[in-house]
Amino acid sequence: MEIINEYIIETVVAIALVIILILYFLIRKPKQIIKEDVTESVVDVTIGDVPKDNKILEVESVAKDEPTVPDTKRIKRAVVYHDKIKKVDFEIFKGVRILVAEDNLINQKVITALLATSGIDITMASDGQIALDILKDDSDFSLILMDAHMPNIDGFQATRLIRKNPDYNHIPVIALSGDTATDDINNMYKVGMEQHLEKPLKMDNLYDVLYMYTSGDESNNGAQHSTQTSAKFDIEVGLDVCGGDKEFYIEILNDFTSKYSDSSKQLQEYISNQDAINANKMLLDISGVAANIGADYLHNVAIKLKNSIEKPEDLEYVTNLKEYKRALAEVCAAIEEYKQT
């Protein structure tokens, strides 16, 4: 009887152990499946081999914390190593034109004082709407420093509108903001801002941004421009072409102003419509006539604009069109002045 009781007890214990083991595996199995499913979903969106230590989820979370820097073609040169930047170092950017959209008067004064002796041409706008109005009349800027938070139109909305206008494709927009969170910086990049300058502004960071988005030729272009201005309209050359006949010369000048005084608008329309054929034809005509009337500077600018239209991907045509517009206006003004003598 004792043997039977012992057998029954051992059988019950064995059955209990089996039940416990079955319950253990039933409980453990869903957790394993869940872990496998999570791992597979991460692997599906991960480029490259899975790390040997299987820290896939950690890698994914780290990646989300890094701002997504936009791809840009507007950077002109790589930043080089330099010592601590001083105010005098900004003089290498002489001739650079920047538009600063900043509503805080103190910040405006800080930027102006910092660059006061640099030779940089600074145009201030106290909100996004004013910045857009300035660009309508003059978009010949090397870059825009854009405060993110301003009244009327803030920096985000202003940048969206700037990036939608192909006439401003050559101008990089740099964010000015005290926001440093990853999501905030990513939002700046998404609307078209290309770099983030943290407030309070540090001289080294501003120097690096200016260096990246300028070519180093701005000061030379300024010197060349001032030299050429004095010889934009050479009356003696024009009279010589006309055999010294002043009346005939004035007749030619009248024909020129009548036909080409609004040519910059027509060229803008051709370029906007990607009509390079008619744009080139007009510029060839203008360059030839300009040389005949003694407007050599306008002749050279027209040739430069024509060549840049043939390579639209470089975006140089935008700046060259602005230069053409100024040169044309100055020649037309000089012609009117000459006709009064």
| Model pLDDT, residue 131 | 95
Residue with tokens 């040519």: 263
pLDDT digits (tens, 9 = 90+) for 138-169: 999 999 999 999 999 999 999 999 999 998 99
Length of the chain: 341
| Least confident interval from 84-98, 109-123, 220-234, 236-250 | 220-234
Question: What does the pLDDT look like over 90-99, one tens digit per residue?
Answer: 999 999 999 9
Kindly indicate the confidence band of residue 54, based on its pLDDT and cuts at 50, 70 and 90: very low
pTM of the predicted model as reported, rounded to 2 decimal places: 0.51
Q: Could you tell me if 199 and 178 are in contact, meaning their C-beta atoms sit under 8 angstroms apart? A: yes
| CB neighbour list of residue 87: distance below 8 Å, 6 or more residues apart | 114, 117, 118, 203
Amino acid at 252: I
The C-alpha atoms of residue 159 and residue 70 are separated, in whole angstroms, by: 14
Yes or no: say if 116 and 127 are a contact pair by the CB < 8 Å rule.
no
Which residues 6+ apart lie within 8 Å of 155 measured at CB? Answer: 101, 128, 146, 147, 148, 149, 175, 176, 177, 188, 193
Q: Round to whole Å and give the CA distance between 313 and 250.
A: 40
87-218 in CATH: which number? 3.40.50.2300
